[in-house]
Chain A
């Protein structure tokens, strides 16, 4: 086990383990691109990777992707489907795992990537970016994986703007709206791993990273965090994992 690594490195390496070999994965911009690439070069070599830019590929991209229509996602890819063609796979129910990030997440797994403040009072509203394809992924993927750095401003009781649906208002809400996908399954932060209760649909802490504690994670969360009775410490990344990850992002575009 390695001793010296960044929390972002542990986040990426732990997150990659949630990808199952053979799955169809739809990845959003940012950290998800690095995680999928890492997974495709380690335990999950048979992933079908789709992105909003329209790339469809069954092999790891030949370089570090910065955008979801980065030329490296298309070079030696299997198909260039365009945004409509690639994203239609979501609506057809073909995507096993969707993978997004965001600016805020609440205890029901709802994501905000639009901005903070009160939309109805524009002077108070600080815009970030918008949905991009995150909403479509969160609506229709069979299960959702979310990667988001731990921060009390990011883990909130209620998102300021609901951009991408988690379990919305609670159990049964997605079903009532006829959503195709099952909703978020896992959240990985820089401090731990969260899952969702099958009944209440509330997020709970399932693992905390080595060097962290349940109390410390709680203090980086703005809502009353539920904790699994079986909560455990996440294994530290191995030297091999860290070496590969640092080769993928040697200048720290994602990791610093």
Chain B
């Protein structure tokens, strides 16, 4: 295990692989501002469960949109005091019931804005500037009730109204991806998940990632276009297959609709919810135990069903070519009658 560098960012030769438990206990502190990654797919569920297990407190969350009820569980478990986001749901529970209850009980502050405003807030953090201008939100209750994130001003150039959104910089980002190498180069494909790119790169201390597969650095370096987050922003790499379950992970598994419905029944019914936490979170030592429980209850075939059935393998044969060999070969300069001979 490596020693943390001064700014928390690793150097290129450090092996950042560790257990989920270690990653969450070392890098997420009570009171931290989190970038909560994913969208309706690639939700960092395994990290969510581990934060609940470790009973994190007073977390502030920045997020664009989040489905399958992971954030809702985190709120119900009492880990979150404040959130800034555009949308939260477990679509198959027809609501975000825990967040709804916490808001009504005034144990949770929620600051709403639109998706483009949220992704722009993350982009502003990524760019290291204080705010961004967006076209939406103006004229609605989003601006009226979320002055912490949104202001409408006069464009100093044209005098027209324009909405500003404050940039977000979390302390730590949590995301799920398909691949990473041990150094922390994170590879993700399928949606070019810009909220994750901006949210993770804009995080002050760096990002914790769970991945389906750990590969050698040579594999990542053979196709660096696919690197979403370069090693130096990564705090921890956790090998965690099915780490986004029950949300989808492109190329590995689709959304587990039946489990979303099942989990949703607990989320909808507050008096039952403690059973879900006991059985699926506190009662599981880690994500592997969660998967074992799943297989035990619903059968391996229920997981197998979610794996890709149809092939969508890329047909583009990509190469990364060299520059002009003139830098090491003797090639005479080009000339013609107008320019004349040049030395």
Contacts and interface: CB of A to CB of B under 8 A. Distances in A.
Contact residue range for chain A? Answer: 35 or more
Given A83-B39, A135-B137, A127 B115 contact: no
Given A135-B137, A162-B140, A179-B139, A75 B39 contact: no
Given A83-B64, A130-B112, A131-B115, A54 B192 contact: yes
A128 B95 contact: yes
A140 interface: yes
A139 interface: yes
Interface in B79-132: 85-89, 91, 95-96, 99-100, 103-106, 110, 112-117, 119-120, 123
Contacts, number: 186
B192 to A, nearest CB: 4
A226 to B, nearest CB: 23
Interface residues of B, number: 61
B333 interface: no
B139 A134 contact: no
B40 A133 contact: no
Given A70-B40, A71-B254, A83-B64, A131 B142 contact: yes
Contacts of A139: 135-138
28 contacts: A29-B91, A52-B65, A53-B40, A54-B192, A67-B67, A67-B91, A69-B191, A70-B248, A71-B248, A75-B310, A80-B191, A83-B119, A83-B194, A84-B123, A91-B135, A122-B104, A122-B106, A129-B87, A132-B65, A132-B115, A135-B116, A135-B137, A164-B140, A165-B139, A168-B139, A178-B138, A178-B161, A180-B135
Given A125-B103, A135-B137, A139-B137, 16 more contacts: A67-B40, A70-B41, A71-B254, A81-B192, A83-B115, A85-B192, A90-B136, A122-B106, A129-B96, A131-B113, A132-B86, A135-B117, A138-B136, A139-B138, A162-B141, A177-B161
Interface of B: 39-42, 64-65, 67, 85-89, 91, 95-96, 99-100, 103-106, 110, 112-117, 119-120, 123, 134-142, 145, 160-162, 189-195, 197-198, 248, 250-251, 254-255, 257, 310, 312
